[in-house]
Amino acid sequence: MPKINWSNGYIRNEDAALYYEVHPSSQENAPILVLLHGNGEDMHIFDDHIEPLLPYYTIITMDTRHHGKSSQGNKPLTYELFSEDLFTLINKLHIGNFLIIGFSDGAITALELALKHQERIAAMILIGVNISPDGLTFLMKAGSQLLLAAKNVQGLFTKKAQPDKELIRLMLDHPHIDPAQLEKITVPALIISGERDIVKDEHSRLIEASLPNARRVVIPKTSHYVMKDAPLEFDRIVHEFLMEED
């Protein structure tokens, strides 16, 4: 395998420029760990959790297209496209197998990638993941619909609202992953949920049951943003799982 050039910058996947950063481990030849953020965020949501992992892993963060420093491109936003972008990044950095942590939409992206290229994934952590819009709570969907209505009004006066509307629709109308598809994914997986998550408990249990090599942890007194609500507990759970699967 060619030597990896550890540098921050952009890679291009057809119509979009995708920004990434590399955080080299203090350990030589450390495993690669990819972190994927959620809808409407950027890579910096993981800032407080990178340092504890650097003694053991070289970490790659990436801004999903139309997030952070990445451009949107001309294609409609889909989780399948996000996974293609990630696969392009991994290949252009000449990375073989890697670990992955995905938060919310980033977890959906990780599942989409696993459906096509699970041979490249050593293990994955899925935080607040859903496989259909029906998996979201009523309050979450209602709030998103109200936000979309507001963006529709805003769109009468500015074109800047259009990309935001696309992100909201993505969350309201997608993904559509058949639980039977998950049965083909044998990658070791940890599902992390908040006790007060926006993903229904029964939906998270369905995902756990559908993945042959998965287990689930529910962090008490936390929301969808378990990383912020219980950072020390989150870091401990992540570290223990990765050490088992490394």
- Is 3 a domain residue? no
145 and 226 part of one domain: no
- Is 4 a domain residue? no
Give the structural domain span for 213: 9-132+176-245
Instruction: Report pLDDT for 1.
Output: 37
128 and 141 part of one domain: no
- Is 2 a domain residue? no
183 and 64 part of one domain: yes
154 and 57 part of one domain: no
Instruction: Report pLDDT for 135.
Output: 97
Residue at a domain's end among 152, 174, 196 = 174
Instruction: Report pLDDT for 147.
Output: 80
Name the residue among 107, 96, 133 with its Cα closest to residue 45: 107
Which residue positions in the chain have pLDDT lower than 50?
Answer: 1-3, 156, 161
127 and 225 part of one domain: yes
Instruction: Report pLDDT for 154.
Output: 65
- For the chain, how many structural domains are there in total? 2
Report the Cα 21 to chain-centroid distance in Å: 16
8 A C-beta contact, residue 93 and residue 73: no
97 and 204 part of one domain: yes
Instruction: Report pLDDT for 6.
Output: 65
59 and 170 part of one domain: no
Task: Look up the pTM and report it.
Answer: 0.93
Retrieve residue 194's tokens.
């908040």
